[in-house]
Structure 1
Amino acid sequence: MEYGSIERENYVNAPPDVVFQTVSDPKHIKEWWPDSALYEVAEGANGEIRFGDLDSGGIAVQLTIVDVSPPNRFAFRWTHPVGEDASPGNSMLVTFELRPSGEGTLLRFTETGFREMGWEAAVLEEQYREHVQGWDYFLPKLGPYAESLAQKA
């Protein structure tokens, strides 16, 4: 198996501007992915996302926004060590590409950077599988949430 990237493509029954808000705005992203998101939606902005309560074993993960092109593309690097700038070799790159399709949006998700981390084979495989499991759990929540936002608009 190639542990280089994770790719998913989904149709979301909501317009691209709503889907863009869903994948980029901290107040919306926390409704389908992390428990908390703290960052400015601007290229170069740094922040973090949190999974669970930090006082009860939860984790905070660093995040750097690398592309904000509404309503077509949103990308960030994450998982880099605290105090280090995100770059290839110390972080994963997550990209959401959005294209109008009928009444909704074709969303293409990719996460890359696994091979560039320089991990030994067992760690690479473990990290890749953990990310696949995570995205397979969280990404299906994105569409219904975006669709609910579109209905409210």
Structure 2
Amino acid sequence: MEYGTIEREIYIDAAPEVVFDVVSTPEHLAQWWPDTARYEPVPGSVGEITFGDGDAGKVVPFTVVDAVPPRTFSFRWAHPADQPATDSNSLLVTFDLRPSGAGTLLAFRETGFREQGWEIAVLEQQYRDHVTGWDHFLPRLAPYVATLQVRP
């Protein structure tokens, strides 16, 4: 098994502009993925996302890499809080959006596992944990977007 990349494709019944906002802005991100998010959705912005509440929450550093509405949003995450995100200390998540019929095809990709320098057991565990996490959170996107749609 290759532990280098996680990829998924999801069709969302909404325009790319709507989907872009949902995957790029902290207010929307916190509705389907972390419990809270704090960053500006512009390249170079450094912030954090938090899973869980209060003192029990896990704070994870978050750095926006690219934001090209309504096509691409990418960020690096899980790097040490006292260090800037690099290829060797963080994972890269990219959302690529393209129109498809009346909606959007979202291509998700997370890379950078092998670049971390982890021992194979740690690499395998981290990869599996992320697969499990994304398999839980990504299916929440389309139902959340559907709550935003204005119907005549």
Q: TM-score, normalised by structure 2?
A: 0.97
Matching residue of 2:103: 104
Matching residue of 2:128: 129
What is the aligned length? 152
Q: Secondary structure at the match of 2:27?
A: helix
Q: What does 1:106-121 align with in structure 2 at a 5 Å threshold?
A: 106-121=105-120
CA distance in structure 1 between the partners assigned to 2:38 and 2:151 by the alignment: 24
Q: Is the 8 A contact 1:95 1:109 kept in 2?
A: yes
How far apart are 1:2 and its partner, in Å? 0.2
CA distance in structure 2 between the partners assigned to 1:145 and 1:119 by the alignment: 35
Per the alignment, do residues 126 and 83 of structure 1 end up closer, same or farther by CA in structure 2, a change over 3 Å counting?
A: same
CA distance in structure 1 between the partners assigned to 2:123 and 2:54 by the alignment: 26
Matched, 1:46 2:46: yes
Per the alignment, do residues 144 and 84 of structure 1 end up closer, same or farther by CA in structure 2, a change over 3 Å counting?
A: same
For 1:20, give the aligned amino acid.
F
Per the alignment, do residues 113 and 152 of structure 1 end up closer, same or farther by CA in structure 2, a change over 3 Å counting?
A: farther
Q: Deviations over 1:82-141 (max 9, x none)?
A: 110101010000000000000000000000000000000000000000000000000000
Matching residue of 1:24: 24
How far apart are 1:151 and its partner, in Å? 2.9
Percent of matched pairs sharing the same residue = 60
Q: Is the 8 A contact 1:13 1:143 kept in 2?
A: yes
Q: Secondary structure at the match of 1:151?
A: coil
CA distance in structure 1 between the partners assigned to 2:81 and 2:25 by the alignment: 22
CA distance in structure 1 between the partners assigned to 2:54 and 2:127 by the alignment: 24
CA distance in structure 1 between the partners assigned to 2:44 and 2:6 by the alignment: 23
Moved over 2 A (4+): 150-153
CA distance in structure 1 between the partners assigned to 2:146 and 2:101 by the alignment: 14
Query: Once superposed, what is the RMSD of the aligned Cα atoms?
Result: 1.1
CA distance in structure 1 between the partners assigned to 2:65 and 2:33 by the alignment: 19
Structure 2: unaligned runs, 5 residues or longer: none
Structure 1: unaligned runs, 5 residues or longer: none
